[in-house]
């Protein structure tokens, strides 16, 4: 019997906008509700985690898990520029206290994709002013709640905009037959739609009117990122780390990155080297002072001498359009550990499927690979499964199922899945 160390964190993750509901001051709320929205449906009440967090954390705890990664919503804390909402601070204080009271280690993300509407009106994630705005927000949160937060991820998937820019460029170059994509694009680890030019133009015109800015000046976190925008993300992270450490030096600070298990067949080595440089290696100078790195992985990509090799018709795929490949996490951890000698937390890993038996097998295989990495001496502190609850998967709405807990959204009744029990049993008993 192999068993994880008692102090090893095994838990699950959520993001505020995807689960809390009624995040009405955020940029995503705006984009979900404009005419011609690219979103399959609006988030509305989501799964009402804002009011039901105690029930959800209890389900996590009772299953045997000991950590919960969640995000604090900037648009709730600072709904208007410079105006901080004390009531929302108290809400998150209650969430943190409830975690501690139940023996659950909280891992807090300060920005998980969604931003205040006003930030986009001020230039968003391509504007120099965002560095100071983000720092002010982080300082406010940590000054109020820092004594309850052992781990902070400043920014979720800081490299996501670069990946989206690459996917959009590839999409346009290939001139895909379907002008209106009808399903998830498995080339990016987040729920987005890729649509035709006329549809996009209408969407951005409506978004520009809703934000009160020129469409070309809409820079949400999910927009394709320029090199300057990439630098602003890193400067925002560094600013956040500085203010957090000034307020409470005991807090462990890092960020998270979306990483694939890039694999090369003979002749494909150059492709994967370029991708690793773009997705991970060029960020190392900016994160060298961090306490840990959050690794997020869902699948692999294979390259040969002529580029990416698409899975054949016999390959098992997830409902998000990714290859089913549970060993991809171990592959990423082994690569990252060559260049990163500090602690790692797996902040997201999971599978989009409505068949929970597939999720159960995915978890078992993934955790075996993770355990092997620990045996090899890779310094991993914990594993957070994505996600705790079936939730709002951004532009794809509520159809994708990533959760360990299902939700009847007509009643908001929670229905724990077998996969929740299996993950908890691995924590308690090993495998």
| Residue 227: Cβ-neighbour burial (10 angstroms; 0-12, 13-18, 19+) | exposed
Which of 32, 88, 157, 223 is an active site residue? 157
Q: Residues of 38-53 as b/e, b for ≥16 C-beta within 10 angstroms?
A: bbbeebeebbbbbebb
Which letter does DSSP use for residue 311 in this model?
-
Largest Cα separation within the chain, whole Å, is 60
Q: Which residues contact 90 (CB under 8 A, 6 or more apart)?
A: none
**Spatial contact of 113 and 158, defined as CB atoms under 8 Å apart:** no
Rounded (10°) CA dihedral 32, 184, 162, 266: 180
**Spatial contact of 381 and 429, defined as CB atoms under 8 Å apart:** no
Q: Which residues contact 169 (CB under 8 A, 6 or more apart)?
A: 224
Distance CA 7, CA 397 (A): 36
**Residue 157 annotated to the active site:** yes
Residue with token string 């049993």? 425
Distance CA 25, CA 416 (A): 31
Q: Which residues contact 340 (CB under 8 A, 6 or more apart)?
A: 284, 293
Q: Which residues contact 31 (CB under 8 A, 6 or more apart)?
A: 37, 38, 39, 207, 210, 220
152 phi and psi angles, rounded to 5 deg: -125, 125
Write out the DSSP string of 367-427.
HHHHHHHHHTT--EEEEEEE-SB----GGGTT-----SEEEETTTTEEEE-HHHHHHHHHH
**Spatial contact of 241 and 290, defined as CB atoms under 8 Å apart:** yes
**Spatial contact of 290 and 329, defined as CB atoms under 8 Å apart:** no
Residue with token string 């171990």? 330
Which active-site residues does the annotation give?
Answer: 157
């Amino acid at each position: 019997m192999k068993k994880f160390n008692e102090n090893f964190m095994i838990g699950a993750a959520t993001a505020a906008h995807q689960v809390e509901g009624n995040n009405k001051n955020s940029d995503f709320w705006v984009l979900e509700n404009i005419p011609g929205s690219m979103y399959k449906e609006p988030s509305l009440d989501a799964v009402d985690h804002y009011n039901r967090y105690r029930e959800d954390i209890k389900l996590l705890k009772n299953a045997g898990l000991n950590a919960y990664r969640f995000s604090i919503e900037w648009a709730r804390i600072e709904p208007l520029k410079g105006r901080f909402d004390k009531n929302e601070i108290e809400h998150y204080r209650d969430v943190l206290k409830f975690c501690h009271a139940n023996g659950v280690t909280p891992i807090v993300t300060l920005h998980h994709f969604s931003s205040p509407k006003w930030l986009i009106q001020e230039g968003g994630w391509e504007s120099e002013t965002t560095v100071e705005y983000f720092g002010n927000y982080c300082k406010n949160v940590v000054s109020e709640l820092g004594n309850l937060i052992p781990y902070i991820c400043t920014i979720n998937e800081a490299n996501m905009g670069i990946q989206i820019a690459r996917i959009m460029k590839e999409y346009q170059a290939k001139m895909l037959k379907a002008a209106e994509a009808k399903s998830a694009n498995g080339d990016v680890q987040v729920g987005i739609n890729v649509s035709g030019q006329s549809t996009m133009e209408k969407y951005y015109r409506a978004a520009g009117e809703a934000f009160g800015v020129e469409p070309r000046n809409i820079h949400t976190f999910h927009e394709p990122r320029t090199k300057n925008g990439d630098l602003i993300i890193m400067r925002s992270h560094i600013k956040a780390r500085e203010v957090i450490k000034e307020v409470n030096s005991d807090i462990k600070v890092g960020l998270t990155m979306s990483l694939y298990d890039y694999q090369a067949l003979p002749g494909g080595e150059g492709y994967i080297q370029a991708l690793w440089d773009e997705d991970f290696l060029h960020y190392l100078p900016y994160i060298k002072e961090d306490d840990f790195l959050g690794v997020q992985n869902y699948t692999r990509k294979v390259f040969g001498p002529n580029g990416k090799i698409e899975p054949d018709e016999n390959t098992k795929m997830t409902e998000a359009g990714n290859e089913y490949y549970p060993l991809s996490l171990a592959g990423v951890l082994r690569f990252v550990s060559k260049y990163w000698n500090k602690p790692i937390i797996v902040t997201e890993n999971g599978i989009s499927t409505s068949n929970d038996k597939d999720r159960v097998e995915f978890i078992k295989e993934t955790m075996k690979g993770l355990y092997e990495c620990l045996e090899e001496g890779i310094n991993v502190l914990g594993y957070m499964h994505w996600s705790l609850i079936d939730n709002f998967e951004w532009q794809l709405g509520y159809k994708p199922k990533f959760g360990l807990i299902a939700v009847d959204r007509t009643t908001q009744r929670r229905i724990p899945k077998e996969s929740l029990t299996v993950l908890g049993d691995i924590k308690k008993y090993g495998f």
